[in-house]
Structure 1
Amino acid sequence: MKFKMRLKLLALVCGIDVCLGMVLVYMVREREAAHVAANSGALPWEEGGILDRAKGLEGKCVALTFDDGPHKDCTPRLLDGLKQRGVHATFFLMGQSIEGNEEIVKRMKEEGHLIGNHSYSHVQLTKAGAGAACDGVDKTSSLIENITEERPQYMRPPFGDWNEELECEVGMTTVLWSVDSLDWKLRNKNRIVKRVLKDVEDGDIILMHDIFPSSVEAALELVDALTKEGYTFVTVDELLID
């Protein structure tokens, strides 16, 4: 049977309480499937057989997600555009980017966006070791909680670098992606938009970064284009299994 080009939503359940119900979303190409299955505990998947929707979602839905912020210039411009369009997104914040940008984080919360954890710095957590990885995640969660009065429940590891040991240690819902905009590499609004529109489907989680002007421009153009195609924008928690 033909496998899909990307994995949409993969539920992993650990055998201890802190890992029950943990959900992992991971983008893979067909040629990488064997590697992912061997190294991340991924289960086999068949076309059209694995994506579950949260109750109450109707029509075509996608989630815009942004990593590495907040950025003092780019993130406010993005928030302005999302507010004008009535769209909520998910922001995975990096701890070292929060200092000096607390008001931006507060604004994200006030305007209804979902705030997640992207660890403290952009390092590969599996190479850092469980202790250091958990310290970075916990430090970032505390920074976010001090600003929003709410501890984040969702995290995205830098580079998507993760394993079952860290899942169980951290005890948070881990969210990766199903469409990679490659905005960090392309740095061109039109190329980013073209890439995402080519791949996007109902239920996708789109990976972007709110630290480049071209990414902000592309994200807002994508919102306009996908809205015309009948898509609704939701936060990642609304796409996860209910």
Structure 2
Amino acid sequence: MPRYALAPTLLLLGSLALTAACATGSPPADSAPSVDGPSRTGGNDTGTQVDLSKLKGVNIVSDSSTDRSCPWATSYPDVPGADAMTAAMKKDVEGRLAAFLGEDTGGQATGCGGMDGLEGPELNVSFSFLVASGDVLGVRLGTVDRTSNADGLATKAYWYDGAAKEYRPSPGLIADGSRDAFVSAVKKRLEKREGVTPDTVAALDDQENRDVYLDDMAFTADGDLKVDFDRGTVGVPPAGRISVTLPKATVTPWLSDFGSRAQRQTTDPDDKLDLGAAHTPAPTVAAQPDPGEDTTDCSQVKCIALTFDDGPAAPETGTLLKYLAQYKARATFFVVGQNVATHPDIVRAEMKSGHEIANHSWNHPVLTNLTPTQIRSQLERTNASIKAATGKEPTLFRPPYGAIDGNVRAATSLSPVLWDMDTLDWKSHDPAKVAQTVISQAQPNDVVLIHDIHPTSVAAIPEILRTLTARDYHFVTVSHLRATM
């Protein structure tokens, strides 16, 4: 593994173009996590805002690779009480990942698995909250699959009915007896759209496949119902993504009981979300004692910088903070913006415990595949979420997969950080192997890449801290390492 973290990134500091001012306000909590389709810069928002403080005990299920030749990252929320909806998202996400890796075709290599190690393919699945109020939960998953023949962007809305304790696909917003009238209204609006052909519109008459076409429906803040279609679904691919919006007055008579409640909770949300969860939500992560000013001189003693990517995660990050505190070890957390927006309390605990918070993009895309505007959005939205949680903006960022080029450098004033040692913990999920990798390969001034979203990786930390401390290593933040080398 090449050791290239510090020297190149220090050289980059002088060449970073200061062209992007960091956002200072907190972004809407429910903004689609920058799936960044060609026809949208902000994803597939409906214009509503979700108060994430209502989501007690939520867990973000995340996973990713660090393989530049086959980059993938997936995430979706697990909200207490909405187990059936979580299971539906899990099944869809695992199916997409298996297809991307070529694992669901009877051994025939497809997707990333059939690209012979060439760079180019990418899979990214991220989420946004549509509604989280009363007994209604709505989540949208946005998928970018760059092995697709279309634009690679697909979106799907998932709904949970807390009163009935059932998962509802988008068509469940419409009463059974009103679906034909609803579809007719959608078709009329589609027929007026450029790029829509009669045969594609007629596909909505097929009741067996209708739910597949109508899988992304959500209400706007005014109560209108917006229906989104992936590129090539109801129109020719050059027409791009197509959406239609039915006014509140038109659609309200067709809504099911659940649809009516979802509409009301979107336009006039309750003070809290109550899905009838049987278990008690996890407690808030507590900050550990701050070790105080770090006077370590890394030019005189052996230092190492442990860095943790893709969090924060509950409860894994809280457990990690306790392990680090036992050795007065400092670390740098490269956090993902959508997780920061969901778990700001954990990020505050990281900072109050004496650790460094840094930017790892909003939802872990390959930044070099994005436009300059999209790159800025990824980093600035995450900066804003970090500042909202901690009161401070970060100074460092780590490009997912280490993918960086001139466009990425020019889009931000943040200093890039790569790594010297990749534990490949996302592959092994073996605490002993992760610990042995760090212990056997550690060299002074190394920057080590680990993920705090994996409980197996967190479980490896005590052995790493214990063994390297006995070898007179000091655990410092990346910024401190840079400043004292």
Contact 1:95/1:140 (CA < 8 Å) preserved in 2? yes
Give SS of 1:214's match.
Answer: helix
- Residues 37-56 of structure 1: CA distance to partner in whole angstroms, max 9, x if unpaired? xxxxxxxxxxxxxxxxx993
Are positions 1:64 and 2:330 aligned together? Answer: no
What is the TM-score with the length of structure 2 in the denominator?
A: 0.41
Deviation of 1:239 after TM superposition, in Å, equals: 1.6
Contact 2:368/2:407 (CA < 8 Å) preserved in 1? no
Are positions 1:6 and 2:3 aligned together? Answer: yes
Q: Tell me the percent identity.
A: 34
**Measured at CA, do residues 95 and 218 of structure 1 come closer, stay the same or move farther in structure 2, by a change above 3 Å?**
same
**Measured at CA, do residues 76 and 16 of structure 1 come closer, stay the same or move farther in structure 2, by a change above 3 Å?**
closer
**Measured at CA, do residues 164 and 72 of structure 1 come closer, stay the same or move farther in structure 2, by a change above 3 Å?**
same
Taking the aligned partners of 1:106 and 1:15, their CA distance within structure 2 comes to 31
Q: Corresponding residue for 2:423?
A: 181
Taking the aligned partners of 2:296 and 2:468, their CA distance within structure 1 comes to 22
Are positions 1:149 and 2:403 aligned together? Answer: no
Q: Corresponding residue for 2:199?
A: none
- Residues 134-189 of structure 1: CA distance to partner in whole angstroms, max 9, x if unpaired? 10100000000011110000000111111122112211110010011111111001
Q: Corresponding residue for 2:163?
A: none
Residue type matched to 1:60 in 2?
K
Structure with the bigger percentage of helix: 1
Q: CA RMSD in A?
A: 2.1
Deviation of 1:238 after TM superposition, in Å, equals: 1.1
Q: Corresponding residue for 1:206?
A: 448
Contact 1:119/1:158 (CA < 8 Å) preserved in 2? yes
Taking the aligned partners of 2:423 and 2:386, their CA distance within structure 1 comes to 26
Are positions 1:77 and 2:325 aligned together? Answer: no
Give SS of 2:312's match.
Answer: coil
**Measured at CA, do residues 107 and 16 of structure 1 come closer, stay the same or move farther in structure 2, by a change above 3 Å?**
closer
Taking the aligned partners of 1:239 and 1:159, their CA distance within structure 2 comes to 22
Q: 1:166 aligns with which of 408, 415, 423?
A: 408
Are positions 1:194 and 2:191 aligned together? Answer: no
**Measured at CA, do residues 15 and 103 of structure 1 come closer, stay the same or move farther in structure 2, by a change above 3 Å?**
closer
Q: Corresponding residue for 1:224?
A: 466
Q: Corresponding residue for 2:29?
A: none
**Measured at CA, do residues 79 and 131 of structure 1 come closer, stay the same or move farther in structure 2, by a change above 3 Å?**
same
After TM superposition, list the pairs within 5 Å mapping 1:13-52 onto structure 2.
13-15=13-15, 18=18
Q: Corresponding residue for 1:112?
A: 354
Taking the aligned partners of 1:129 and 1:110, their CA distance within structure 2 comes to 35
Contact 2:420/2:446 (CA < 8 Å) preserved in 1? yes
Residue type matched to 2:324 in 1?
L
Residue type matched to 2:310 in 1?
D
**Measured at CA, do residues 187 and 131 of structure 1 come closer, stay the same or move farther in structure 2, by a change above 3 Å?**
same
Tell me how many residue pairs correspond in the alignment. 206
What stretches of structure 1 move > 4 A for 4+ residues in a row?
13-17
Taking the aligned partners of 2:335 and 2:424, their CA distance within structure 1 comes to 18
Give SS of 1:12's match.
Answer: helix
Contact 1:8/1:203 (CA < 8 Å) preserved in 2? no
- Residues 181-210 of structure 1: CA distance to partner in whole angstroms, max 9, x if unpaired? 111111001111111222210000000000
Deviation of 1:16 after TM superposition, in Å, equals: 6.6
Rg larger for: 2
Residue type matched to 1:192 in 2?
V
Taking the aligned partners of 1:216 and 1:179, their CA distance within structure 2 comes to 17
What is the TM-score with the length of structure 1 in the denominator?
A: 0.80
Taking the aligned partners of 1:113 and 1:15, their CA distance within structure 2 comes to 27
Residue type matched to 2:334 in 1?
F
Taking the aligned partners of 2:439 and 2:324, their CA distance within structure 1 comes to 18
**Measured at CA, do residues 68 and 15 of structure 1 come closer, stay the same or move farther in structure 2, by a change above 3 Å?**
closer
Taking the aligned partners of 1:104 and 1:194, their CA distance within structure 2 comes to 28
Give SS of 1:18's match.
Answer: coil
Deviation of 1:7 after TM superposition, in Å, equals: 2.4
Q: 2:332 aligns with which of 90, 96, 101?
A: 90
Give SS of 1:119's match.
Answer: coil
Residue type matched to 1:158 in 2?
P
- Residues 93-132 of structure 1: CA distance to partner in whole angstroms, max 9, x if unpaired? 0011113311111111111100000000011001022210
Contact 2:337/2:381 (CA < 8 Å) preserved in 1? yes
Residue type matched to 1:169 in 2?
A
Contact 1:18/1:171 (CA < 8 Å) preserved in 2? yes
Q: Corresponding residue for 1:41?
A: none
Taking the aligned partners of 1:96 and 1:16, their CA distance within structure 2 comes to 25
**Measured at CA, do residues 190 and 138 of structure 1 come closer, stay the same or move farther in structure 2, by a change above 3 Å?**
same
Contact 1:180/1:207 (CA < 8 Å) preserved in 2? yes
Give SS of 2:307's match.
Answer: strand
